[in-house]
Amino acid sequence: MLDYAGLEALAAVVREGSFERAARKLHITPSAVSQRIKLLEERVGQVLVLRGQPCTGTEAGRRLCLHVEQVALLENELRRTNPALVSEGQFMPPTLKLAVNADSLSSWFMDAMAAFTREGNELLDISIDDQDHTAKRIKEGEVMAAVTATSTSITGCNTWPLGSMRYVAAASPAFMAQHFAAGVTPESIARAPMLSYDRKDALQDKWLHAQGLATRHGPPKHWLPSAYAFVRAGEAGVGWGMQPLLLIQRHLDAGTLVEVLPDTGVDVPLYWAHARNAQAGLQRLTHCVITAAAGWLQPLPTDGPESGAAAPKKSGG
């Protein structure tokens, strides 16, 4: 049987990033935290924490942290249905680690968060990542669930189709007049500054290839890891970029942003994936996510295997 005092210490160190902060959270000394983790590592026969600034979990350590979160979910449900079994002094609300892309978090996912937190006591620890990379966070045990663009099966997970988010290449009218007065061509686009969210953001490059505008070296890039700042930078004439219609429709209506090439949008399908062995504890959250997405996102095509949200796709492992 696993040592849950050690698991609690492990989860605290990985979550807080240091032994000192974990000790304060657990109301014990840093040496006690270190001793608990040492005993746990001896019991499982491998290193679980990479000491550094911050401290991080190894792959095995992250999976054990995920196990701790799942146990906390089950205990929370037990308390909800049988409150006499868990005293108030022993109870701590569980924290769920999720990965969500920035544009979803800035729009429809907030409705899911509001509904979920309004109806329960669970806490959310959300990390932002590109929708093409969030599935990896689940596979590596860093998060329990994620909004992802991965339609293929993720080992050990259930995947639910949510809908698609439409993106358009947009810029300010002044930017268009300065850089594309003679038209949008491979030559002009190669000189016009481009907005990119981070090094994982490939949406602009995909659009360039789809429109036959890609060049060998590509446009000069501004790196801007903020959904709000990304829209503001486009509106202010800093550069052009792929903007989600959910966030810029009012700017298009007002004329402060215009499409670089009209009617050339890109639809990005989104899915909700979660660890299958945590399905019972995540059932309510999954319902909130699917409901919120249905109110904001465009439906996925109905002729594909991923269409519909009545049942999840399952994978082995």
Model confidence band, residue 74 (pLDDT cutoffs 50, 70, 90): confident
Kindly state the average pLDDT of the residues 185-214: 96
pLDDT at residue 309 is higher than 80: no
pLDDT at residue 307 is higher than 50: no
- Which has the minimum average pLDDT: 17-31, 44-58, 138-152, 227-241? 138-152
Is 274 in contact with 289 (CB distance < 8 Å)?
no
Cα 101 from Cα 81, distance rounded (Å): 34
The whole-number pLDDT of residue 21 equals 93
How does the average pLDDT of the chain come out, rounded? 89
The whole-number pLDDT of residue 1 equals 64
Topology of the domain comprising 1-91: Arc Repressor Mutant, subunit A (1.10.10)
Comparing C-alpha atoms, which of 99, 39, 89, 36 is closest to residue 66? 99
Cα 142 from Cα 297, distance rounded (Å): 26
The whole-number pLDDT of residue 311 equals 54
Model confidence band, residue 305 (pLDDT cutoffs 50, 70, 90): very low
The whole-number pLDDT of residue 90 equals 54
For the stretch 192-204, pLDDT in tens is 999 999 999 999 9
Is 201 in contact with 101 (CB distance < 8 Å)?
no
Residue 239 exposed, middle or buried by CB count within 10 Å (0-12, 13-18, 19+): buried
% of residues, the chain, pLDDT over 70: 92
The whole-number pLDDT of residue 313 equals 56
Model confidence band, residue 317 (pLDDT cutoffs 50, 70, 90): very low
The whole-number pLDDT of residue 292 equals 98
Topology of the domain comprising 166-266: D-Maltodextrin-Binding Protein; domain 2 (3.40.190)
312: CB partners within 8 A, 6+ apart = 158, 159, 160
Task: Delimit the domains of the chain by residue range.
Answer: 1-91, 166-266
166-266 shares the fold of 1-91: no
Higher-confidence residue: 310 or 34?
A: 34
**Is the pTM value of this prediction over 0.95?**
no
Model confidence band, residue 2 (pLDDT cutoffs 50, 70, 90): confident
Amino acid of residue 95: T
263: CB partners within 8 A, 6+ apart = none
For the stretch 83-129, pLDDT in tens is 776 665 556 688 888 999 999 999 999 999 999 999 888 899 999 99
